[in-house]
Structure 1
Amino acid sequence: MAGWVAAALLSVSGAGASELEGAGDHSEVPRVAGSFIVFHESSDFDRLSIPTGAWDGDQFESFERLEGQVLRLSYNFEDPGVTTLRVKRSYLQALEARGFEILFSGSEEELSSGAGRTFFRESGLFDRGARDCCRVANRDRQVRYMAARSEAGNVLAGIAVFNARRVDGPAVSKAIVTAAEMDATMDHQPLTADEMETGLVEDGRVAVPDILFEVNSAAILPESAEALESIAELMNAQSSMELLVVGHTDNTGDFDYNVSLSLQRAQSVVNWLRDEYGIAGARLQAAGAGMMAPVTTNRTEEGRAQNRRVELVERGR
């Protein structure tokens, strides 16, 4: 039986006439036979937080994060005889056969109140697909969910199976991230000390986008050295200058986590300037703004990349 179910998942036959033109499956997480794609969205680089535990009313019990290429897909089944349980079991067994680790699996009240509807909404993984095609049914929702990670650890997926409004058979929504490093190639030079000073004089603050960190970490990447050296040059040239170093994130993930991470990253910059360049610690203060002050939209990968930044703000003398 398990072999038949896995084979059914790997089959892409039976896609209906309503298949979304130009859309395709993820190579490691294909569809269950009989379903067809009704929503497709991809980005070259983003960060995805995948719940690996239930929603307890305030937050998810646990989650995994990964940065890389993100693919969001939604599928419908035309056959009302296909059950949500069958579809979920098909995915679970086929993914395990491919070496995936099932990080979490639950259904309805195991996920959250509202027979899993709250979990579906609060995860934020399926918002775009739900708006365009696949809203959870008001009754008989049968929300089922699994989180899985590939054997190599480079693919992380969250998959929801549910009954949707105005759909004859079940619906499936997926959010999948495949690990990849951001292309850090810059067609501009990092800000010079003079350019930073101009920004501080004219605007009271200046963004330093060339300070980069490891994924989900406050560890500064080596390619940030030139920008950090320019800050040191500025402070050595302006011996009375005092600065706030403010970390910013995009709006992906938990609010408290992002505030904490932004503060830790700002503190890493302060520590670097103190330890590597001898800038007095009293002249620098770290602060974390999390997602609270975006400079542009968080609805695109490009916008989120701009919102992840470090800013310098001149303190009063």
Structure 2
Amino acid sequence: MTTPRRLIIAALLGSSLAPMPGQAQSVDLVMPENSAAVAEQSAPFASYPLPLGPFRDGTLPTKPLEGAVQQRAWRIDGSGASTLELLVPLRAQLAAQGFDIVFECEGLQCGGFDFRFATPLLPEPEMHVDLGDFRFLSATRKDEAISLMVSKSAAAGFVQVTHVGQKPAQALGTTAPATPQPAQETVFRQPQPSQGTGDTLASRLLASGAAVLTGLDFPSGSAALPKGSYAALDQMAAWMKANPETSVAVVGHTDASGGLAGNIALSRQRAQAVRQYLIRQHGIDSSRIEAEGVGYLAPIASNQTEEGRQKNRRVEVMVTSTPVQP
């Protein structure tokens, strides 16, 4: 039996022994078996909007926090547990360590798509969120806070832990003292388990529940998808026909050039163009496809370089139903 993974977040630099008076305690979370940390991001001093309620009427209520912000995503391979079964032991551990649960929600109750994209998360596929099956929790303890996002795909469970402390903190998952470093982002990737279908759109959807639709040639500033054949969309349609019980969300993304409102509108229109292609060219039932746009709110690369901006200008498909087949 695999030993459960232990995640230790030290809220202050220094000894991992009992804290001195006035020092914050560490946060010690035991993750499920078969888990592995797949992505991490940290900054010694940054801001984080802690969600305090569901997304409603175009707004997500948050509490602005400042301090050492650390995020880590975990993948639990072969987990047959529900999102509630994944969340409950973590919630109990936080309560046992003196955290007060200030907000908790599930899927549509949270605000569904809008909540997910208004909440800072590590990118797909390391942190996968099924828009139809996720749970979220915010908790506080004195001058620190933790949020948990829990979701799953057909093949694995996913947990993101975000910790905000008032002073520079140790690196996630270690107990050794750390030297403060300039703000930076480090993403650790590991190979995804083979699904026996190679690196295809279907295999990526099965492994992580989301995939970038490659080869879509939108002219600059335009939402019109030029006439022609698009291999990624043809593969998408074939997969949906082979899985008639599934539904998906097509999500448009832009780089950070220009204003937010205009970018959200453009990204939504491009997603809608993809949706119409699947409906008109392949006869996919319109009720199975939703189209949304998030503008530049979910980058997968830096907007400081042209290469990064090109990666951020993309359309993704996300599975919003479970289960799915290869």
Shorter chain as normaliser: what TM range?
Answer: 0.3 to 0.5
Structure with more relative contact order (C-alpha pairs < 8 Å, separation 6 or more)? 2
Point out the structure with max Rg over C-alpha. Answer: 1
Higher helix share: 1
> TM-score w.r.t. structure 1 length?
0.44
